[in-house]
């Protein structure tokens, strides 16, 4: 069976009261409309995240209102704020404790690159050094609508995930890691400073 | 509030043996301070807190200062006899001042509503003799700030009830706010580097491959083969 149902055929069938879908579509539809974020905030971005969850912006419209205080029950980690080097091992540990399938949104300049603290001694230059990030939101801090946009992008991403085949979703692939090594506190920096299996900075070629 | 000179004189009278030095602030704020010798610092602090006219009961801020080794050049015009004629000749003297660390306390009075009185203490050097007495027994509010100074500047506060690092992890060995501290080099990816960051990022640059037209360029990712 083809992955997508022919749209014309589907609408014609729907007029007759028959709803045709695929297992993959149903599975992804269920998951993308019930993303439970992990309830934690690190800095000022967390205030925007709270605003997103409150009545004015209302993330519940997208099925993401159930902020869980336990990583065991969460699907989405919103890294909202500055990740200090002292906090980074705990973030990775929380990510490891989340059950598959799990997703990460890096919210704000600090979480994606260290932001204004990039040259400091105590701030991690982006959480993508240790865990894979699905959606990046720039901004300092990003407005709630930006977080909603990222949320919708994530939903789109989930909707496109395959259940089988070579490109199947990472959580269905037993070869793909679900946990990542927790960095240790070193004498001068975190050890290792980045996980080479996760962090692939684009090599900038300059003459 | 009385003048700092008066406070200095009264401290010296009240705490026998104490050596107080006026440290002038040349800036527009003119916030001069008193340098207290480490031996009598605790007694001086206690006196400042309890003196009925001062009542410095609130230690609002404690901070550290790192002073590197420095040479001070002074040019003085000296009268000299040159060729039997008396002339004014400029003479430069160099004074080498070894580096030290400083802890600075800003004191206010909540009862009388005046302040600040600023006192500072110096360590002997920047390497091994980095001890100053803790003033946490006098002002409880100094506890976390002294820990912060211990963490970031490496001053050891003798008599502190719980001297541990407060911001960095316990295994960390450097003192990040010292002027000779160098942060770890992780500048692999800098999209728009400039100034100092540019210098650091250059060490990670990949040189551009030289193309002569004979290579096969992959259409997918633009990588060059052969």
List, in sequence order, the alpha helices (H) in chain B: 4-14, 41-50, 142-152, 195-202
Quote the tokens at residue B67.
């002073």
Q: What integer pLDDT is reported at residue B224 of this predicted model?
A: 61
CA distance B166 to B40: 27
Closest CA to A102 of A110, A113, A94: A94
- The reply to whether A139 touches chain B by the CB within 8 Å rule is no
CA distance B108 to B59: 6
Q: Are B172 and A188 in contact (CB under 8 A)?
A: yes
Bridge partners, B93 (sequence order): B74
pLDDT band at A1 (very low <50, low <70, confident <90, very high): very low
The pLDDT tens digits for B118-145 are: 999 999 988 888 999 999 999 999 999 9
Q: Using CA coordinates, name the residue in chain A closest to B184.
A: A189
Q: What count of other Cβ atoms lies within 10 Å of the Cβ of residue A132?
A: 18
Q: Tell if the CB–CB gap between A86 and B168 is shorter than 8 Å.
A: yes
Quote the tokens at residue B58.
């609130």
Bridge partners, B157 (sequence order): B132
CA distance A126 to B221: 25
Q: What integer pLDDT is reported at residue A145 of this predicted model?
A: 95
CA distance B3 to A48: 49
Bridge partners, B105 (sequence order): B62, B119
CA distance A56 to B48: 53
- Structure pTM? 0.83
pLDDT at B223 over 70: no
Q: Using CA coordinates, name the residue in chain A closest to B201.
A: A204
Tracing tokens 């527009």 back to the chain, one arrives at B28
Mean pLDDT of B18-37: 91
pLDDT band at A203 (very low <50, low <70, confident <90, very high): confident
- The reply to whether B176 touches chain A by the CB within 8 Å rule is yes
Helices A45-53, A144-159: inter-axial angle, 10-degree rounding: 70
State the smallest CA–CA distance between residue A157 and chain B in angstroms.
22
Q: Tell if the CB–CB gap between B168 and A122 is shorter than 8 Å.
A: yes
Mean pLDDT of A6-26: 89
The pLDDT tens digits for B70-99 are: 888 888 888 778 778 888 888 888 888 899
- The reply to whether A8 touches chain B by the CB within 8 Å rule is no
Tracing tokens 């295994």 back to the chain, one arrives at B171
Per-chain mean pLDDT for chain B: 88
Helix (H) or strand (E) holding B122: strand B114-122
């Amino acid at each position: 069976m083809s992955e997508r149902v022919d749209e014309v055929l589907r609408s014609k069938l729907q007029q007759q009261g028959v709803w045709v879908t695929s297992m993959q579509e149903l599975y992804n539809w269920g998951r993308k409309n019930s993303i439970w974020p992990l309830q934690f905030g690190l800095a000022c971005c967390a205030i925007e995240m709270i605003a997103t969850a409150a009545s004015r912006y209302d993330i519940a419209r997208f099925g993401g209102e159930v902020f869980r205080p336990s990583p065991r029950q969460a699907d989405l980690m919103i890294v909202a704020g500055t990740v200090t080097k002292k906090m980074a091992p705990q973030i990775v540990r929380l990510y490891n404790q989340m059950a598959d399938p799990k997703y990460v949104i890096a919210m704000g300049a600090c979480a994606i690159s260290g932001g204004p603290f990039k040259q400091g001694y105590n701030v991690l230059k982006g959480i993508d050094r240790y865990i894979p990030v699905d959606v990046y939101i720039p901004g300092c801090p990003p407005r709630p609508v930006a977080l909603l946009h990222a949320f919708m992008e994530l939903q789109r991403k989930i909707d496109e995930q395959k259940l089988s085949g070579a490109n199947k979703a990472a959580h269905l692939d037993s070869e793909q890691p679900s946990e990542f090594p927790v960095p240790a506190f070193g004498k001068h920096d975190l050890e290792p400073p980045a996980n080479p299996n996760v962090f692939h900075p684009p090599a900038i070629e300059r003459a | 509030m009385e003048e700092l000179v008066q406070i200095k004189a009264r401290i010296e009278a009240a705490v026998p043996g104490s050596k107080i030095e006026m440290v002038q602030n040349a800036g527009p704020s003119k916030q001069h301070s008193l340098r207290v010798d480490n031996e009598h610092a605790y007694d001086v602090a206690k006196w400042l807190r309890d003196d009925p006219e001062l009542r410095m009961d609130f230690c609002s801020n404690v901070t550290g200062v790192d002073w590197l080794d420095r040479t001070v050049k002074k040019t003085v015009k000296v009268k000299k006899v040159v060729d039997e004629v008396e002339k004014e000749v400029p003479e430069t003297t160099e004074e080498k001042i070894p580096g030290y660390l400083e802890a600075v306390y800003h004191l206010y009075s909540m009862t009388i509503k005046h302040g600040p009185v600023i006192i500072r203490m110096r360590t002997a050097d920047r390497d091994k003799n980095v001890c100053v007495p803790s003033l946490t027994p006098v002002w409880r509010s100094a506890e976390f700030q002294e820990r912060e100074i211990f963490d970031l500047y490496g001053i050891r506060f003798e008599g502190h009830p719980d001297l541990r690092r407060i911001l960095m992890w316990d295994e960390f060995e450097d003192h990040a706010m010292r002027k000779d501290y160098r942060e770890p080099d992780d500048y692999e990816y800098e999209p728009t580097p400039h100034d100092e960051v540019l210098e650091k990022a250059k060490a990670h640059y990949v040189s551009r491959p030289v193309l002569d037209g004979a290579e096969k360029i992959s259409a997918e990712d633009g990588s060059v083969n052969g």
